[in-house]
Amino acid sequence: MSEQKIKCIGIIMDGNRRWARAHNKPAFEGHNEGYKKLQEVVRWARKAGVPNIAAYAFSTENWERSEEEVGHLMKLFRFVLENEARKMIDEKVRVCFVGDRARFAEDMQKAMVRMEEETAKDFNITLHVAMSYGGRAEILSATNALLAEGKKEITEGDFSKKLWSYPMPDPDLIIRTSGEHRLSGFLPWQSVYSELFFSDAWWPEFQEEEFKNIIDTFNTRERRRGK
């Protein structure tokens, strides 16, 4: 079968905390390593000619984790927002944030907008970061936005334009690491025809060879989309 054009790869970056426990490190070290791995994967995707990566960084349910862990994650996010834009610009990575931004501190919300604007000028790959994201919450948000407009008949196109992810392409494939076989609320509307791949590796240990093998396997699959 000929190689298929991949427009977007979704990634559920699971296993940071388990990696940390296995290496006798605190949970925040796992999240730090997870961020480093995401940077690597963006480079792998660019080499493979993939123009979009959608990464599940922080779910709506993650707010319920311990105050200490959430605090560290906010510190890590704030560091990225305040210090990594220059690196993203130099590497031609556009960054877009997908999720309920209202739950973040006001300075972080402003920093998200700033990073999106600064990285949108010259890029060859887009990283869509799902932060404070939940699929059901996204669908409810889109529904309420359309109801507020007084829509009486809604098309799929109308609905898609109200999603937090718009205009991100639907993921052609989704990879979840750490051996779990579920999507955990990741892009339920957008993933209806995504090919699913599950890796046993914890996210910080995910390797480029496996990434390439997943793409090769994807290219052997016939995607009929119900036809």
Does some domain include residue 226?
Answer: no
Q: What is the per-residue pLDDT across 93-134, written as a single tens digit (0 to 9) for each?
A: 999 999 999 999 999 999 999 999 999 999 999 999 999 999
Does some domain include residue 165?
Answer: no
Does some domain include residue 40?
Answer: yes
The alpha carbon dihedral of 76, 120, 59, 53 has a sign of negative
227: confidence class by pLDDT, cuts 50, 70, 90: low
Does some domain include residue 76?
Answer: yes
CATH number at residue 77: 3.40.1180.10
Q: What is the per-residue pLDDT across 5-49, written as a single tens digit (0 to 9) for each?
A: 999 999 999 999 999 999 999 999 999 999 999 999 999 999 999
Number of domains, the chain: 1
Q: Half-sphere exposure of residue 108, counting CA atoms within 13 Å on the CB side? A: 17
Helix/strand/coil (H/E/C) assignment for every residue in 62-130: HHHCCHHHHHHHHHHHHHHHHHCHHHHHHCCEEEEEECCHHHCCHHHHHHHHHHHHHHCCCCCEEEEEE
- pLDDT higher than threshold 50 for residue 225: yes
Question: Active-site residue numbers?
Answer: 14, 62
- What is the average pLDDT across 152-157? 92
Q: What is the per-residue pLDDT across 77-90, written as a single tens digit (0 to 9) for each?
A: 999 999 999 999 99
Question: How far, CA to CA in Å, does 167 sit from each of 20, 59, 124?
Answer: 35, 20, 16
Q: Distance (Å, rounded) from C-alpha 63 to C-alpha 22?
A: 24
Does some domain include residue 177?
Answer: yes
Does some domain include residue 158?
Answer: no
**Full residue range of the structural domain in which residue 28 is found:** 9-135+171-218
Q: Buried b vs exposed e over 181-213: b needs ≥16 C-beta within 10 Å?
A: eebebbbeebbeebbebbbebbbbbbeeebbee
Q: What is the per-residue pLDDT across 162-214, written as a single tens digit (0 to 9) for each?
A: 999 999 999 999 999 999 999 999 999 999 999 999 999 999 999 999 999 99
